[in-house]
Amino acid sequence: MKQLLLITIGLCCILTLNAQPSVIVGAEQTAEYFPLLKGKRIALFSNHTGMVGDKHLLDVLVENGLNVVAIFSPEHGFRGNAGAGDKIASSVDTKTGVPILSLYDGNTSKPSTESMQKFDILIVDIQDVGLRYYTYYITMVKLMDACAEHNKKVLILDRPNPNGHYVDGPILNMKHKSGVGWLPIPVVHGMTLGELAQMVNGEKWLPEGRTCDLTVIPCLNYTHQTMYRLPVPPSPNLPNMKAVYLYPSLCYFEATPVSLGRGTTLPFQIYGHPNMKGYDFTFTPRSMPSATKPPQQDRLCYGVNLSTLSEEEILKKGINMNYLIDAYKRLNMGDRFFSSFFEKLIGVDYVRTMIEQGKTTEEIQAVWQGDVKKFKKQRKPYLLYDE
C-alpha cells in the first residue's frame, strides 16, 4: 500500500512538472489595459474571434463602462459570416448598438477622415493565422497608417499565431504587392500581430516612414514553439486546425482552375478538378453562404482528400508544393494552369517557372531558404516571445 502511494505521488509530481500553463491572451489581461482606456473614445478592430472567455471583447468593454464609439470590421465581417473578399459596408452591431464603420469609405482603402475623428484610441484584437496572404494583418497595417496620420494611439491585444512555430516561403517581391500581400515578409512569417506591428514601426514600413503610437499587451505562457489550438475558427473556410496547417500549401490553387474545397465541408483540406480522373476520391462544390460561387461549382471533381492526414504529417512538411505540382502535371494545361494571381500569392516569379521546368518541391524550397534565414535575423529585435 505504501509503495502504491509513493508511485501515485511520483506520477502526480511528473504530471505537475509536465503540465503546461494555459496561454492567456492579451484581451484577458484587463488590468493591464483598462487604465489606458479610461476617459477615451475607443474604436475596436475585431471580429467573431475577439473572445474573452465566453464573451466578446466588445461586450466586456461596454459592460465595464468604457466608451466604445466605433467598430472596424475586416474581411468576413464582424460576426465572421461574409465571404472572402466581400467589402463590409457600414452598419450597426445589433447587440450593443455600436456603429460598424466601413474600412473602405476613404479614397485609399483606409477609413475616411470623418471616421478617424470619432475616436482617440484603436484596439486591435483579432485572431490571425500567420500567413502573408491572410488579410487581417493588412487591414491592421492600413489602420496603423491611418492612426499615424491622425495622431491616434493603437493598442494591440496580442493573440498566438497557430503557425508561429516556423518561417517558410519566399519574401514578397514588392512589385507583386497587392491586397493579398502587403509587406516584404515570407509566406509564413511566424509572428504574432503584436510582433508584426512592432516590426512595421521599426522597419518604417508605413508610407513616408511614418510610425504610429503603439502599445502591445503580450500573451502570457506563450512561446513560438507553443502549438496553440484556435478556440474559434478564424474565418468560414478555415474551420479546423488541419485547414489552418494546410493553408500555407493549398492557397495557391486559388490562382488555378483547381478546387481546394470551397463549397464543401472540407475547405482547404481537399483539392481536385473534373479532369483529374484516376483518383478514387470525388467531391462536388456547391454554393453556400461561405462560398457563394466556388470554383468548379456543381461539377464532380476527382482529387485528393488531405483531411485523412494527421496534423503531425502536415506540419513536418512546411509549405508543401507537391499538391500544386501534382495537379499541374495531371491537368497538362501548360500556361493555362496558372493565372497572374499566382505571383501575388507566392510573391515571386521563379516558383511558377520552376514548376513548369519540372523541379521538385525540395528544389523549390531550397531557393527560398536564403529569404527565410534573412528574415529570421531581421525580425529578431521585434519578437515578444522566445523562439
Do 147 and 271 share a structural domain?
Answer: no
Residue 265 domain flag: yes
Q: How far is CA 294 from CA 84, 110, 262, 298, 375, in A?
A: 11, 28, 6, 9, 35
Residue 15 has pLDDT above 50, yes or no: no
Handedness of CA 108, 110, 115, 119 (dihedral sign): negative
Range of the domain at 76: 26-229
Q: Is residue 9 part of a domain?
A: no
Give the cell for residue 123. Answer: 484596439
User: Taking Cα atoms as reference points, which of 256, 141, 130, 250 lies closest to residue 186?
Assistant: 130
- E strands within the chain? 41-46, 51-52, 55-56, 67-72, 91-92, 99-101, 121-125, 153-157, 168-171, 186-188, 213-217, 270-273, 281-283, 301-305
Q: Same structural domain for residues 207 and 279?
A: no
The mean per-residue pLDDT over the stretch 166-183 comes to 98
- What's the mean pLDDT in 252-277? 98
Reported as a pLDDT band with limits 50, 70 and 90, residue 298 is very high
Of 98, 34, 24, nearest to 66 by C-alpha is 34
Q: Are residues 253 and 219 in the same domain?
A: no
The CATH number of the domain holding residue 122 is: 3.40.50.12170
- Of 199, 229, 259, the one marking the end of a domain is 229
Q: How crowded is residue 309: how many other Cβ atoms within 10 Å of its Cβ?
A: 16
Do 200 and 283 reside in the same domain of the chain? no
Cα(115)–Cα(146) distance, rounded to whole angstroms? 10
Both 222 and 262 in a single domain?
Answer: no
Give me the pLDDT at residue 86, please. Answer: 53
For residue 11, pLDDT beyond 80: no
Q: What is the mean pLDDT of residues 216-229?
A: 98
Judge contact between 83 and 74, C-beta under 8 A: no
Query: CA dist 94 to 35, 57, 69, Å?
Result: 27, 15, 14
Is residue 287 located within the same domain as residue 175? no
**290 assigned to some structural domain:** yes
pLDDT of res. 2: 44
Among residues 167, 196, 229, the one where a domain terminates is: 229
H/E element holding 210? none
pLDDT at 78: 78
Mean pLDDT within 198-211: 97
Residue 354 lies in a domain: no
Predicted TM-score of the model (pTM): 0.91
**Domain assignment present for 375:** no
pLDDT interval class at 14 (50, 70, 90): very low
Claim to verify: residue 181 and residue 286 sit in the same structural domain = no
Q: Are residues 197 and 247 in the same domain?
A: no
Mean pLDDT of the chain: 92
Residue 93 lies in a domain: yes
Residue 314, in any domain of the structure = yes
Considering the chain, what percentage of its residues have pLDDT values greater than 70?
90
Q: Is the domain of 168 the same as that of 279?
A: no
pLDDT at 22: 96
Pair 55, 201 in one domain: yes
Query: Cα separation of 384 and 227, whole Å?
Result: 16
CB distance 77 to 113 below 8 Å: no
Three-class DSSP labels, 142-188: HHHHHHHHCCCEEEEECCCCCCCCCCEEEECCHHHCECCECCCCEEE
Judge if 224 and 303 occupy the same domain: no
Average of per-residue pLDDT across 265-270 = 98
Pairing of strands 51-52, 55-56: antiparallel
Q: Does residue 204 carry a pLDDT above 70?
A: yes
What is the spatial distance between Cα 120 and Cα 114, in angstroms, rounded to a whole number? 13
The total domain count for the chain is: 2
pLDDT surpassing 90 at residue 255: yes
What is the predicted pLDDT for the residue at 93? Answer: 87
Residue 170 has pLDDT above 90, yes or no: yes
Stretch 238-254: mean pLDDT, rounded?
98
Domain co-membership, 181 together with 280: no
* Among 71-85, 267-281, 351-365, the least confident range: 71-85
DSSP string of 13-60? HHHHHHPPPPPB-GGG-HHHHHHHHTT-EEEEEE-TT-EETTEEHHHH
Does a structural domain hold residue 299?
yes
d(CA 351, CA 25): 37
Tell me: the pLDDT tens digits for 305-346? 999 999 999 999 999 999 999 999 999 999 899 999 999 999
Each residue's pLDDT tens digit, 57-115: 999 999 999 999 999 987 556 755 554 455 555 688 888 999 988 786 655 678 889 99
Q: What's the pLDDT at 340? A: 97
Identify the weakest region by mean pLDDT among 44-48, 90-94, 375-379.
Answer: 90-94
HSE-up of residue 292 (Cα within 13 Å, Cβ side): 8
* Residues of the chain above pLDDT 90, percent: 84
Find the mean pLDDT for residues 147-155.
98
